[in-house]
Structure 1
């Protein structure tokens, strides 16, 4: 389907030429399959947790935290690797590499015979997550027209959420009678405790192979091709996205932008005042997304819902409900990101989450259990799903100049995974020391702090081309 490019309201710019919307959605959806694998691999550990803990005999908070957070070391390594490799070799090869890593690590994690092997392959799977979390949103942003970019980059978060829900449903179906056991010994004696948790991890190999095959057929990012000097190839890709008029306009903008800036990527350039300010904004958004505390609800659902009075069967069912709410409100974000704008959704999410984390902490402090805790956790997830979860990735894919986007994105995503490791590893320790109430109050204060940071430093970027955003942030002309 081809449509004439024009404004979509709210001050969106008019871009010459026509767009092949069907093709844009197809290649964006293929890149976003990385998000689906990311989501599945990220959350499957939460449902498999009671079973692999029983199988490997994990009892201390340190070992439990290590098993849940070890993949984040791989995420950090993968995001650093992706930053350098995607700027040097392009976005497409990194999409292919992540698919291979997802497929191999899922099988080898599932059939690990020792805890050490389990940890190693979880870390390898983390490398795949780190690579795809960097490259998928970057690729989608670089092929997207300005008026569609928010929705298309949010598509990556939507598939991530679908992957989360798929993992939760698979976990529930496979767990079966294993949810009736209460002790490690009893769980270990069930089929789920011996083999079921293995299939929870292994299941992601199938969509990984689909992603691998599809990634072979997507084009390279046209903006990366311009940066690499392959102008004719870039123009050909833009012409498939739109028409010759659109292609020429996009190539002219990209070439003009790069001609005003050093095409060479260096660490020194990141310390120039304007670029450093934007980089710190990206790091701050990445850290806030993780320290908002919502991901611990996914990764430690067992402890949270058990503390709220649910048995293992109820816990597994509640986990699926959280995934469904996550999906529904990610769809809300997809619908509104290019209408309401990035900044408004981020402010709404951070402020609302601060309030609800405070209420959640109060509920645990007053020993209120059951449906009240479930309702509050669902409210937190709903706000997170329509704000910090997807919009952070949109902003990170938009705010950095093309010439350093891979490197700056790598640094920001690395900060995200360091923050994620910190919050995931420390939750069992914080929960034991402060109780659930104190832990969620801490997350609430972080969200409140994030609200004021967003209000002061984060600009609105909806409807602007990537080159216009560079000018808006003052990072053009070698700033």
Structure 2
């Protein structure tokens, strides 16, 4: 493999296009934080309705992952990404034009379905067009795009709100409504711009070569692989390797999930996907402004702090992308989760005793930034890489849907439970709980996961089915 030549530029292009789905994922997920108070005031929402406004997109995401894998196995990765891009585009425009709260909820659910779909299909596509030596970095590009989407949402919210308060007025009524008097509409609707770009660019990329092999369209697969590996002989070798694995997979997708080795991989994927949500990252990204305000900051300062968190999240994701294939997935998790535990304990101590010993809010910001640094450089960077490369070719879409479903259920639960935990357990107790939840995650990765860096997808599959690759 070391002497094999690759068209790295082409692989980066394919991965970049698919990763735009991650940017939309991040934007759609994070933009809600800047609109809650405005939507609550405009539609006179009670506490339950406010929770439904925040959580409805996550319900949509759960629905999206339930069919994304099976649909991608049936229609192909490319066409399912096209469907997601259409849903994002419609959702953004519909949010901006919503006539009442029910229409807004429906539009948010539609966007949530698209989030669920791209969370499965985009990293899956990247893993299937990337050579083993570059797969970790290229799949991590998707997670970096998610962090860019988060940061983009925070910045858009900040500047659109500032613009709405600048005193500008237009003679065009709908512009005033979307950008001035009801600025939440432009915050939510801005998503349609990258969504349309995503929709257009997908038509310039080919279908996944591994999916083409599965559906016996080898001539098309060979053309794609020749563009990636540059030679006909190497493209044919990749086809033969994939076919050799598929030849041993005679069972249906659902029945294959119950094979001992494959079932173990699916259970591990479910565990790391769900546990990762209970280690605090989404609580910080969703409720950061509220947490900072509870610590005594003004609303403006809390939004600025959230932009800093989003910046560190993005920059660290880029650093992780550069080193994930060199250091390996497991070492990144060991170092990063250890740092997360220390940072979470420090945050908990601050909330318990910070004021008593005279610590300023600057210390709280530093602890949060340290936490985001370690998290973005480890579990956030690794999760989609692992889920996209753990499973056999024939059932990869279905197995990723199972793991992705657990991820989104965990995300929904933490989104709903965080306000209750902050109130019931206190902020200090909540962050101590997040620190404790890091321990089983670390144990699973240490004892049960192979190191997948540098391994082909076929070699990883052989690990789970009995012939272990070196870990």
TM bracket (short chain): over 0.9
Conserved in 2, the CA contact under 8 Å of 1:103 and 1:208? yes
* Residue of structure 2 equivalent to 1:166: 152
Q: Given the superposition, is the C-alpha separation of residues 117 and 367 from structure 1 closer, same or farther in structure 2, using an over 3 Å criterion? A: farther
* Residue of structure 1 equivalent to 2:77: 91
Most deviating of 457-466 and 288-297: 288-297
1 CA distance for matches of 2:163 and 2:10? 45
2 CA distance for matches of 1:295 and 1:179? 29
1:217 offset after TM fit, Å? 1.7
Residue 216 (structure 1) aligned to one of 180, 203, 206: 203
Deviations, residues 318-348 of structure 1 (Å, cap 9, x unaligned): 1111111011100110111001000111122
Conserved in 2, the CA contact under 8 Å of 1:165 and 1:320? yes
Deviations, residues 51-110 of structure 1 (Å, cap 9, x unaligned): 2222223342x3333222221111111111111100111100011001000011012123
Deviations, residues 341-373 of structure 1 (Å, cap 9, x unaligned): 001111222222122112111111225451122
Most deviating of 155-164 and 367-376: 367-376
Question: In structure 2, the residue corresponding to 1:349 is in which secondary structure?
Answer: helix
* Residue of structure 1 equivalent to 2:171: none
Q: Given the superposition, is the C-alpha separation of residues 315 and 191 from structure 1 closer, same or farther in structure 2, using an over 3 Å criterion? A: farther
Question: In structure 1, the residue corresponding to 2:296 is in which secondary structure?
Answer: coil
* Residue of structure 2 equivalent to 1:4: none
Q: Given the superposition, is the C-alpha separation of residues 403 and 44 from structure 1 closer, same or farther in structure 2, using an over 3 Å criterion? A: same
2:244 is the counterpart of 1:256:
yes
* Residue of structure 2 equivalent to 1:338: 325
1:474 offset after TM fit, Å? 2.4
Residue 448 (structure 1) aligned to one of 403, 428, 439: 439
1:130 offset after TM fit, Å? 0.3
Q: Given the superposition, is the C-alpha separation of residues 192 and 434 from structure 1 closer, same or farther in structure 2, using an over 3 Å criterion? A: farther
The number of aligned residues is 454
Conserved in 2, the CA contact under 8 Å of 1:400 and 1:408? yes
Q: Given the superposition, is the C-alpha separation of residues 443 and 179 from structure 1 closer, same or farther in structure 2, using an over 3 Å criterion? A: farther
1 CA distance for matches of 2:291 and 2:326? 35
Conserved in 2, the CA contact under 8 Å of 1:226 and 1:255? yes
Any residues of structure 2 matched to 1:154-193 within 5 Å, and which? 154-176=140-162
Q: Given the superposition, is the C-alpha separation of residues 383 and 193 from structure 1 closer, same or farther in structure 2, using an over 3 Å criterion? A: farther
* Residue of structure 2 equivalent to 1:318: 305
1 CA distance for matches of 2:438 and 2:49? 28
Q: Given the superposition, is the C-alpha separation of residues 95 and 43 from structure 1 closer, same or farther in structure 2, using an over 3 Å criterion? A: same
1 CA distance for matches of 2:137 and 2:370? 23
Conserved in 2, the CA contact under 8 Å of 1:56 and 1:115? yes
Any residues of structure 2 matched to 1:120-159 within 5 Å, and which? 120-159=106-145
Conserved in 2, the CA contact under 8 Å of 1:291 and 1:423? yes
Conserved in 2, the CA contact under 8 Å of 1:32 and 1:159? yes
Residue 463 (structure 2) aligned to one of 459, 466, 472: 472
* Residue of structure 1 equivalent to 2:413: 422
1:179 offset after TM fit, Å? 8.4
Q: Given the superposition, is the C-alpha separation of residues 461 and 365 from structure 1 closer, same or farther in structure 2, using an over 3 Å criterion? A: same
1:131 offset after TM fit, Å? 0.4
1:178 offset after TM fit, Å? 7.2
Deviations, residues 128-183 of structure 1 (Å, cap 9, x unaligned): 00000000000000010000000100011111111111111111101117789xxx
Conserved in 1, the CA contact under 8 Å of 2:164 and 2:181? no
Residue 42 (structure 1) aligned to one of 3, 7, 29: 29
1 CA distance for matches of 2:97 and 2:362? 37
2 CA distance for matches of 1:138 and 1:290? 20
Q: Given the superposition, is the C-alpha separation of residues 53 and 378 from structure 1 closer, same or farther in structure 2, using an over 3 Å criterion? A: farther
TM-score normalised to structure 1 length: 0.91
* Residue of structure 1 equivalent to 2:235: 247
Question: In structure 2, the residue corresponding to 1:338 is in which secondary structure?
Answer: helix
1 CA distance for matches of 2:236 and 2:461? 20
Q: What stretches of structure 1 of length at least 5 have no aligned partner?
A: 1-12, 181-189
2 CA distance for matches of 1:436 and 1:54? 26
Conserved in 1, the CA contact under 8 Å of 2:273 and 2:383? yes
Runs of 4+ in structure 1 off by over 4 angstroms are 177-180, 190-193
Conserved in 1, the CA contact under 8 Å of 2:253 and 2:394? no
Q: What stretches of structure 2 of length at least 5 have no aligned partner?
A: 167-176
Residue 424 (structure 2) aligned to one of 420, 433, 442: 433
* Residue of structure 2 equivalent to 1:411: 402
1 CA distance for matches of 2:322 and 2:254? 37
Question: In structure 2, the residue corresponding to 1:281 is in which secondary structure?
Answer: helix
Most deviating of 434-443 and 409-418: 434-443
1 CA distance for matches of 2:447 and 2:12? 34
Conserved in 1, the CA contact under 8 Å of 2:276 and 2:441? no
* Residue of structure 2 equivalent to 1:373: 364
1 CA distance for matches of 2:208 and 2:103? 36
* Residue of structure 1 equivalent to 2:172: none
